[in-house]
């Protein structure tokens, strides 16, 4: 793509950057006497490989935001991790997020960065952009002030941003510009792992394209892994290498993006893909009956069964395990592969 593509992953390390095992994170609320457990993340296992874009999809309140908050070690009460583990491997530097919080703290931004949803509000409204760079990145770079400033400016230029934005306040920038600044901020330390949480959601379509391109380009250049979260399946189709589908706090299916779009194994995946608008298709999309389940009081068995068009008796009684799927991924469904995409 460009002459600046000169970063390669370090050799000699394992292929997985992130390993999540049976992670459980609940909101536990004890207010006015009502104890509620909201099982936002309920037994999820997954791995993210080096130099890949890993997508997480799902409806709103499916727990995807909770999942990435949990894997980034960014939860605050009332949310608690009640089981499982999150482990990173940054080029041989192993971190168990919930066992070694100090190590995790040190790795932030250097090895692991974050592009957040809602570009409007992720920057401190009363401080100039340069302060954000100072706060976030300075201590990781080991540079003096001047060199750091030069580094930031050249980084911004690489991303097509005028270094003058450093002197601006967030409110003086447009939405797209702010998102670019955020991306610049997240990539300035050249981290191995980037979490992108709906980075394009609030942007108009053209800007979206632009930002996606930018993310892809930076990822390619740095060789980082990205966990990319969005409910927009078309974005996943455009950018991710592998894709995980979340439903009600659990994974429904995981696999290579392209294969999943071609041949979804889980009825819910099939539904999500089917609801994508396609050029030339004028038929009305059939929307799924019912609403997403309450995470405080989820249905028994397979959590999708009340809305599933092909549910059988067993689905309401037993919880389906994540098992290898036909397309080289994993799926949690007793009738995996039985539904075809039109």
Residue numbers at the binding site for other proteins (CB under 8 A): 2, 27, 29, 31-34, 36, 38, 61, 72, 74, 76-78, 105-109, 113-114, 116-118, 121-127, 131, 135-136, 157, 160-162, 164-165, 167-169, 171-174, 176-177, 180, 206-207, 210, 213-214, 294-296
CB of 171 to other proteins, least distance (A): 5
CB of 216 to other proteins, least distance (A): 13
CB of 17 to other proteins, least distance (A): 17
What's the residue count for the chain?
342
Nearer residue to other proteins within complex by CB, 122 or 327? 122
CB of 170 to other proteins, least distance (A): 8
| Measured distance between the N- and C-terminal CA atoms of the chain, rounded to whole angstroms | 35
CB of 107 to other proteins, least distance (A): 8
Nearer residue to other proteins within complex by CB, 14 or 124? 124
- In this structure, what are the phi and psi dihedrals at residue 182, rounded to the nearest 5 degrees? -65, -40
Name the one residue in this structure whose structure tokens are 């340069």: 130
Kindly give, in sequence order, each residue whose CB lies less than 8 Å from that of residue 292, ignoring residues fewer than 6 positions away. 59, 60, 61, 62, 248
Nearer residue to other proteins within complex by CB, 3 or 283? 3
Strands (E), 169-268: 193-197, 225-229, 242-247, 250-256
Q: Classify strands 93-96 and 225-229 as parallel, antiparallel or unpaired.
A: unpaired
Tokens for 248, please give them. 């009600």
Using an 8 Å Cβ cutoff, are 97 and 107 in contact?
no
Phi-psi group of 190: left, alpha or beta (phi > 0 → left; psi -120 to 50 → alpha; rest → beta): left
CB of 211 to other proteins, least distance (A): 10
Q: Is the dihedral of CA 38, 249, 342, 308 positive or negative?
A: negative
Strands (E), 167-275: 193-197, 225-229, 242-247, 250-256
CB of 336 to other proteins, least distance (A): 31
């Amino acid at each position: 793509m460009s002459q600046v593509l000169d970063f390669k992953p370090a050799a000699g390390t394992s292929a997985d950057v992130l390993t999540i095992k049976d992670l459980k994170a609940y909101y536990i609320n004890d207010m006015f006497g009502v104890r509620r457990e909201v099982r936002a993340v309920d037994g999820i296992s997954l791995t993210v490989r080096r130099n890949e874009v890993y997508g997480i999809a799902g409806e709103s309140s499916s727990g995807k935001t909770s999942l990435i908050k949990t894997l980034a070690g960014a939860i605050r009460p009332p949310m608690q991790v009640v089981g499982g583990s999150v482990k990173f491997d940054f080029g041989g530097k192993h971190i168990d997020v919930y066992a070694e919080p100090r190590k995790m703290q040190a790795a932030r931004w250097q090895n692991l960065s974050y592009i957040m949803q809602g570009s409007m509000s992720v920057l401190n409204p009363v401080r100039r952009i340069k302060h954000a760079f100072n706060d976030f990145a300075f201590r990781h770079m080991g540079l003096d002030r001047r060199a750091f400033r030069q580094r930031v400016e050249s980084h911004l230029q690489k991303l097509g941003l005028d270094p003058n934005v450093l002197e601006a306040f967030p409110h003086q920038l447009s939405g797209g510009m702010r998102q670019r600044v955020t991306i610049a901020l997240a990539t300035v330390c050249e981290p191995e792992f980037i979490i992108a949480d709906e980075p394009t959601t609030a942007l108009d379509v053209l800007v979206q394209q632009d930002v996606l391109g930018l993310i892809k380009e930076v990822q390619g250049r740095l060789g980082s892994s990205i966990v990319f979260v969005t409910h927009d399946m078309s974005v996943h189709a455009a950018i991710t290498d592998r894709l995980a589908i979340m439903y009600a706090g659990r994974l429904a299916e995981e696999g290579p993006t392209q294969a999943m779009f071609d041949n979804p194994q889980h009825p819910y995946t099939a539904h999500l893909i089917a609801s994508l608008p396609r050029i030339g298709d004028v038929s009305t999309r059939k929307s799924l009956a019912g609403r997403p389940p309450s995470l405080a009081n989820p249905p028994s068995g397979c959590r999708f069964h009340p809305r599933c068009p092909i549910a059988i008796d067993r689905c309401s009684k037993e919880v389906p395990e994540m098992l290898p799927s036909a397309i080289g991924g994993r799926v949690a469904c007793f009738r995996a592969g039985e539904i075809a995409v039109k």
